[in-house]
Amino acid sequence: LGFVRPNGKSLPDYLAEISSNPVKFHKSRVPKYMIDNGTYQLLGMKEKNGEEKKNTEANSIGDFKSTLIQKHAKTIRQLQDALEKTSYSHSLMPVVEEGEEEGEVHLKIGEAKARPNVSLKLRGMALPNASTPITTESGRAVETESARQLHRYEVKDNEREVGYLYLIKSYKESVPYRKLGEELWLEFEERMPWEIASTIPRFTTSWFYQTFQCLKREWIVQMRDRVTIISETFQSALIAIILGTVFLNLDTSQGDADARVGLLFIILLQQILGPQKDVPKIMAKKRVYYSQEAAGYYHGSAFYVAQTLIQIPFSMINIFIFVLIIYPLTDLNGGTGSEEFWYMFGLILMCVLTAQAYVLFICSITPNAVAAQAAVPVGLVLFMITCGYLISTEDIPVYWRWLNTISFITYGFRGLMLNEFNGLTLTCNDDELVPPSSEPDFNIAPPNGFGGAQTCPFTSGRAYLATFDMDQFDPDEEKNQVLFYMIAFIAIFNALAFWGLVIRPHELGDQEEPPRFELESKTKQRIRIEAMEKDESKKDMEKSPGEGESVDRDHLTLIKSKIVSYIEWKNLTYKVVNQKDKSQQITLLNNVAGYAKPGDMVALMGPSGAGKSTLLDVIAGKKSTGEISGDILVNGKPVDEFFPRIAGYVEQFDSHVELATVEESVYFSARLRLETNDEEEIKLEVNNTMDAVGITHVKDMIIGNLDTGGISPELRKKTAIAVELVASPTILFLDEPTTGLDSVSAMAVIDTVSELSDRGLAVICTIHQPSAELFSRFKRILILQPFRAGKTRGGRVAYFGDVKNVKDYCHDMKLGELKSGRNIADFALEALGGPQEMKGADGKSKLLQPADVFLETKMWQKTKALLDKGVFTSEERLVEGGLKVPTFNSVFAKGPMEQFGTVMGRTFATTMRDTDTISSQFGSIIVMGFVFGTLFYQLDTDQSGAENRVAIFFLSLMFICFTSSYKIQLLVKARASFFRETTSNMYRGWVFYVTQLVADAAVFIPRATIFTIMVYFLAGLNLEDGGARFWLCWIGIILLFFLALTLAEACAFSTPNEQIGIGVFTLSLTIQSLFAGFLVRESNIPDYWVWLYYINAIRYPLYYFCVNELDGLDISCPGNEGAVPVFVGTDPSVCEGQFDDPNCFRFYCPIQSGNDVLDQFDMTESVGFYLIITIVFIGGLRILNVVLFSFINWVEK
């Protein structure tokens, strides 16, 4: 096909590069003299008759090697291309002859016998005009076009363009393609071998062995995560102690009967909400499972069984500790060790296992962790609402009764209630008898009054169960039925989770940019090609004579940038605290020294653990932990607060904002790091930077990640380079920029970096196992040797010098010999990265430490003398060369308002692009608004209606708070990019925090509005005072969203990862809901816990909603529904069952106004009071968050 291979390039790398850029190595692109003199080789090709041509390589001609021909190679190529378009068919080799006049040289093309009249007359080595006519023997004139038009990328070969289409068409017309088609037609079936041949199993091990190995791995992983195990056990014990001491020693009174129900519900709620903290862990495992299952590691069912079984022992331990603590403290029915004790333990365990299967099912069908975190609480809240506690089964509308039936919490709550109240005798304290003596007609004789008679509402546990519709069957039999139902629920949810994870078709997110084979139009192609040729011509013009010579000879004359920086380091030592023994330190770097000048490209290399990335982070000022000693000088001065403005840092693992486009990321950096405010100038710089690193063609693509897809790793790395380059740094740090890239991508990235170095940047780069070609791009190399001997340890310098001298240095120092064909980079690491064995004069072997050897060399002495003197060139010499060092007046390029505007723009754009999160948030709010509104549809002003008005606000509060946990994952995910941007002095930390707040408000205010409208009008809540109460409720819901997100942020900022953050958030909300005054009223809270009632953040919005709704609302008992019958007769035998006879029974309506409900819950303050306290809590927590955000850094480097 006419492709040529450069000498020294391996065949796999060469073929890979052709597939990514076909035009690069085509013979029509490469000058002929480079093919003829052996710089490029023509590969063996096949003629149409199938005969092979042998690899040919033209003998070098002496004249070709002359300076004249090399200098004017491009012009020669232009002449040759022009002749190829004519009828001339002889050799096109150039020949140099003396001219007819003195000082004249003729550069002629072609053979002597058939040479056309084509020549260049050179006087004083000057070229003629490029448009000089060229004439052939036949007299036909050919107009020489300019280099831009003639030296084409899209040159044609047999009417076919050299490009992707050329490769594809050529392959489809080839013999191998035809043979492949025949083989596919005859032999291939669209099934894997194990699907068509029973003798070829898909797995080489049995299902039981796979399950055992998966279970073993899960056990090891769980046991290594000791922080999570300890924190979960601690949380379980803490909640048990709090609940046990709040409900300490419950008696058989009416009030404590209510407290027992509240306790059982809280226990169930706390245990069932616990598994949602596992969402991040499950989502991380899901991708690993998909990958390994597809590769045939194990059957999906083996992984699933192991994943399910491993949860059981840990759940059993935590639940047993919980029940063991709470049972004796609260004096529940039966006592510790009784049948009731073990029944509670077993039932709670079943509920937790069901909840775990439910969470696994949701995770298996959601695209990412954020969406799963938002979806999990929705179902749990639905099941919780309809379980029969917050709203009685009779009050649940018919169209929602099915939720009560399919809710596993229904059966868990029912079983706990039967277990606790069966056989329990209840009593009344004097103040619990009804009616109270304060009732106006208490002493009036019947039938107009109660005649001083009082009664105890419930005297047995079975009578109390009747209020929950749990007295129809034999309690013992029903308890066993509950266990049967729970087993069925465990099986059902596990079947759903198994379907979602194993059976349902799944695929991994795209890890690379999809190949683009679209054909450009001729016009677009010509514009692109001419632009590329213009850049290349410009580069050729900028090249200085003597290319390849040492820059050190006079590096200032070769620098294209006008602003430069020098960096040097000496006696650099870095120590960190030993995590196993806090009193000791570990030395990671030991007296390391080196430097980088403008135009230098320095590679930091060494074996794993030598400290090359550590050294780069220390020099770049990115270490947030450890102790650093030694000197780091920039332009002759110690590193100061302005250093981030002159240095760019490209991390090993890119920390981009995933939902930003490539262009937006580069623009964001330019907008905040360039001092200019000219928008056109900034956009021009952005475009030039993207062109320079080769990412313009993907500028509108979302960066993405490996899970959801996006641009390729190569382009992601180039984008990271562009983000730093656009800030016009004078020093560029790169941490293993080729990690995770194939050879072509790695070479493309290093070529980009090399071009940046040519512009005058001082480039320092860690590199791991580079190819020989990639290694040759570096000018200097610093190799670290990991060293440990006695008290001396840490990475030490084994070599610092020019790359070209490594081979000779190792030979001279007897550290090794480079064998033919060996990669010099691998050789250097082997020779200098560890001790070398050498035989002494006495024949005994001894070990040479390359780091010790280097300290004795003249190379080190020269480097040390240079460092002692100072590498930085005097500013006077810089000025003479037209250069200068950067100076700044502020650590930030832009002011606070400009920072806020830029960060706000990106935050808002990425928030709106997160469609998974947005859709899950609005979807859940619409669903739950509809459910709440229809579940409590058009509430009456009767007894149950009064209680349900409090319940609907408590449920709304719990739903909004628990679903705000998604914010924790978003903030934890943003840590890496935030750390990179703030340490680069792009913006102040508070700017990020405030922009997050505003972006959140843009989402949660519409959500709050939708939720308020749906719930308020569907439930028929209070519209008195001209609808003012609706608007007050709307304001309260907005503040509640604000408060919930504030609590989530506090957990995100104060915990190391999202799993612990979500666990702490759930624990916090569980405790706050317990002391919110709804589940346990203030009068029942012990004195030693009442402080949690008063500092409870979510209590005040709950009380705000209730007072706004119930204050002044009239409540009644229509048809004596909800009223308590009080016996007022004289002869019980006569009055038995005569409830309609006023002389026998008189009904007492407990709640006669909304204020009675408020009094029961101790809601004695005004709406304004609770509103102000809520705002104060939000403000205080926001201030706390700013402190946590500013002073706690979980990104350790």
**CB contact set of 1032 (below 8 Å; sequence gap of 6+):** 1108, 1167, 1171
In sequence order, what DSSP letters do the residues of 595-618 get, joined into one string? Answer: EE-TT-EEEEE-STTS-HHHHHHH
DSSP-assigned letter for residue 499? I
Averaged over successive runs of 10 residues, the pLDDT of the chain (1197 residues) comes to 73 76 70 59 44 34 43 60 54 55 52 45 36 36 33 35 71 79 58 52 86 94 87 90 91 88 90 88 88 87 94 94 94 90 95 95 87 85 87 86 92 93 87 80 77 82 85 83 94 95 72 39 44 44 37 43 84 86 84 91 89 91 86 90 89 84 93 90 90 85 78 84 88 85 77 82 88 85 81 81 90 84 85 79 75 90 90 66 79 92 92 86 91 91 88 92 89 87 89 92 94 95 90 96 95 88 88 88 88 93 95 87 76 70 79 88 92 95 89 78
Please tell me the predicted confidence (pLDDT) of residue 59.
32
Structure tokens at 199: 């003798």
Report d(CA 642, CA 668) in Å as an integer. 20
CB 348 within 8 A of CB 355: no
Give the C-alpha distances (Å, rounded to integers) separating 813 from 299, 776, 787, 796, 817: 56, 22, 19, 17, 10
Nearest by Cα to 344 from 486, 551, 549 = 486
Structure tokens at 1072: 């706050």
Please tell me the predicted confidence (pLDDT) of residue 974.
87
Report d(CA 1131, CA 1144) in Å as an integer. 8
Give the C-alpha distances (Å, rounded to integers) separating 1131 from 448, 489, 1134, 1143: 18, 52, 5, 10
Structure tokens at 970: 């978003």
103: left (phi over 0), alpha (psi -120 to 50) or beta: left
Which letter, b or e, does each residue of 548-565 get, where b requires 16 or more Cβ atoms within 10 Å of its Cβ?
eeebeeebbebbebebbb
Please tell me the total number of residues recorded for the chain in this structure. 1197
DSSP-assigned letter for residue 789? E
Report d(CA 1183, CA 1189) in Å as an integer. 10
- Whether a cis peptide bond, with omega within 30° of 0, leads into 435 is yes
Please tell me the predicted confidence (pLDDT) of residue 975.
87
Structure tokens at 491: 């099986």
The letter for the amino acid at 1145 is: F
Residue 294 half-sphere exposure, CB side, CA atoms within 13 Å?
11
- Whether a cis peptide bond, with omega within 30° of 0, leads into 644 is no
Nearest by Cα to 1049 from 1099, 1004, 1106, 1103 = 1004
Please tell me the predicted confidence (pLDDT) of residue 127.
32
Nearest by Cα to 948 from 1075, 464, 956, 265 = 956
Query: Looking at beta carbons, which pairs linking 906-909 to residues 24 or more positions away fall under 8 Å?
Result: 906/657, 906/660, 906/664, 906/668, 907/995, 907/996, 907/998, 907/999, 908/995, 908/998, 908/999, 908/1002, 909/659, 909/660, 909/664
In sequence order, what DSSP letters do the residues of 1006-1066 get, joined into one string? Answer: HHHHHHHHHHHHHTT---TGGGHHHHHHHHHHHHHHHHHHHHHHHHHHHSSSHHHHHHHHH
Per-residue pLDDT reduced to its tens digit, 79-116: 666 655 555 445 555 555 555 554 444 556 554 444 44
CB 376 within 8 A of CB 368: no
CB 250 within 8 A of CB 330: yes
Report d(CA 594, CA 616) in Å as an integer. 12
Give the C-alpha distances (Å, rounded to integers) separating 1086 from 6, 528, 764, 1023: 84, 78, 64, 37
Nearest by Cα to 85 from 7, 155, 22 = 155
Give the C-alpha distances (Å, rounded to integers) separating 557 from 347, 595, 1189: 81, 19, 47
Report d(CA 868, CA 862) in Å as an integer. 10
**CB contact set of 829 (below 8 Å; sequence gap of 6+):** 605, 606, 607, 769, 783
Structure tokens at 1067: 């624990």
Report d(CA 289, CA 508) in Å as an integer. 10
Residue 295: count of CB within 10 angstroms of its CB = 8
Report d(CA 885, CA 847) in Å as an integer. 45
The letter for the amino acid at 799 is: Y
Its sign, for the CA torsion 167, 168, 172, 175, is positive
Residue 779, helix vs strand vs coil: coil
Report d(CA 462, CA 447) in Å as an integer. 30
pTM: predicted TM-score of the whole model, two decimal places? 0.73
Per-residue pLDDT reduced to its tens digit, 227-241: 888 888 998 999 999
3-state secondary structure 266-308: HHHHHHHHHHHHHHHHHHHHHHHHHHHHHCCCCCHHHHHHHHH
In sequence order, what DSSP letters do the residues of 851-893 get, joined into one string? Answer: HHHHHTSHHHHHHHHHHHH-SSPPHHHHHHTT-B----S-SSS
> Phi first, then psi: what are they for 60, rounded to 5°?
-70, 140
Nearest by Cα to 511 from 660, 364, 716 = 716
For the chain, the farthest-separated pair of C-alpha atoms sits apart, in whole angstroms, at: 149
Structure tokens at 514: 């999809």
**DSSP H helices in 727-823:** 743-758, 772-775, 806-812
Please tell me the predicted confidence (pLDDT) of residue 77.
62
The letter for the amino acid at 741 is: L
CB 237 within 8 A of CB 321: yes
Please tell me the predicted confidence (pLDDT) of residue 34.
59
> Phi first, then psi: what are they for 884, rounded to 5°?
-155, 165
Report d(CA 370, CA 980) in Å as an integer. 23
Question: Residue 1057, Cα to own-chain centre: how many angstroms?
Answer: 12
Structure tokens at 1011: 């939720």
The letter for the amino acid at 103 is: G
Report d(CA 25, CA 42) in Å as an integer. 10
Place of tokens 């610093």: 782
Please tell me the predicted confidence (pLDDT) of residue 30.
64
DSSP strand pairing (762-766 vs 601-605): parallel
Residue 126, helix vs strand vs coil: strand
